[in-house]
Amino acid sequence: MDHSLKTQTEIKAKWEELKREQPSLRIRDSAEILGISEMELLLTERNSDKINIRLLDVNPAEILARLKDLGYVMALSRNDSCVHERKGIYGDLELNGQMGLILGEDIDLRIFLSHWKYSLAIEEKYNETEVKRSLQFFDTFGRAIHKIHLNAKSNLQSFLEIKEKYGMVLENLDALEFAVYKQNSNDHSTISVGIEFLQDWSELKDTHDFFGLLRKHKISRLQSMVLAEGRFTKRLDTISLQILLDECVLNSIPIMVFVYNPGIVQIHTGAIKNVKVLGSWLNILDSEFNLHLNQEKLAEIWWVSKPTNDGEVQSVEVYDHNKQLVVQFFGKRKPGFLEREDWRAALRKILC
């Protein structure tokens, strides 16, 4: 990107115009419309009187290890089609090379640090008395991986310590380099059914073994859905997802909701209470957990069955027009236990 003042000024002016026309438009969607990354768009505000942005000069893992000190916050992870927001307290970071885990009743994350490039501490003056504070993490393309938003219950001092210890004032953007993102679209139209692949699927012992199965046969996840259709998978109508979620609300069925981007998987576990469609968005709007799913960007929804040592495990997987996995839904489960019967009953409502 050309980081000249003229370019920055022009982009900021176009963004202001967008915000006037579509005040509810999220920054990621604004960036997509303007043809730049979210982080690049955010940085056009760096000299504003209303916002203070510090680039954190530290390995992201060091910040992740300190997140529990922030207390009660909101964790946000998203992709192009889905936003996953979970309030709570971070647990300890468990790190194994570039792979990380934060396990907790509130915030449950699988972290892939090789994708984490930039970390920002942001303070935005919302009105005369309120300042919004957040930590935001981006990849080499300037796409947001994960965000932590503070609130009145959060430990402000811990945030300020992170900002002051690691923060750098961004005088100019010359030191920042953003790669150009090119969508990798997998074409499954020429993939033929492989007997060995389906046999290997039938011999799965754990749902986590599925990733190895895909690598072994060198196929994408969506290709696997097509190959296994009629045996382990079934294509669903778009309305099926809302029917399923409404059924979970009606019967207080605890579920697991996984939202993916290359740098993180964010997971919510628990019952849901309020499902609502607002425009093109299918939403879960609960006090501690929100999900926002843009149905206009969805291409395929699949029921998936995997054998395990604990019996059959069923899920619903949602894919976008770029053939990328957007979100997964499971019944709440733990290894060593059979899948919940109420979850199976809810699935039968959309499979008949």
E-assigned strands of 27-174? 51-56, 72-78, 82-89, 93-96, 99-102, 108-112, 118-125, 131-138, 144-149, 167-169
- Residue 217's φ and ψ, nearest 5 degrees, are -95, 0
CATH class of 195-351: alpha beta
> Alpha carbon of 327 to those of 39, 92, 262, 264: distances in Å?
23, 25, 13, 12
- For the CA atoms of 22, 73, 117, 184, the dihedral, rounded to the nearest 10 degrees, stands at -60
Which of 261, 272, 279, 275 has the alpha carbon at shortest distance from 331?
272
- Amino acid 274: pLDDT: 98
Output the CATH code of domain 5-95+116-169. Answer: 3.40.1570.10
How many other β-carbons are positioned within 10 Å of the β-carbon of residue 43?
Answer: 24
Token couple for 16: 């202001």
Average pLDDT by consecutive 10-residue portion of the chain (352 residues)? 60 89 88 91 86 94 97 97 97 96 95 97 88 97 97 97 91 70 57 81 96 94 95 97 98 98 97 97 98 97 97 97 96 93 98 88
- Residue 323's φ and ψ, nearest 5 degrees, are 65, 25
Kindly list the strands in the beta sheet with 82-89, ordered across the sheet, starting from the edge strand earlier in the chain: 167-169, 51-56, 118-125, 131-138, 144-149, 72-78, 82-89, 289-294, 281-285, 275-278
Is residue 104 within 8 Å of residue 89, measured between CB atoms?
yes
- Amino acid 192: pLDDT: 59
Tell me the three state secondary structure of residue 110.
Answer: strand
- Amino acid 179: pLDDT: 79
- Amino acid 3: pLDDT: 47
**Cα dihedral across residues 327, 332, 252, 103: positive or negative:** negative
- Amino acid 322: pLDDT: 92
Please tell me the pTM assigned to this model. 0.92
Domain range annotation of the chain: 5-95+116-169, 195-351
CA distance 3 to 31: 15
Residues in the chain: 352
CA distance 19 to 26: 9
Strand partners, 110: 101, 265
How many other β-carbons are positioned within 10 Å of the β-carbon of residue 125?
Answer: 14
- Convert the pLDDT of each residue in 127-148 to its tens digit: 878 999 999 999 999 999 999 9
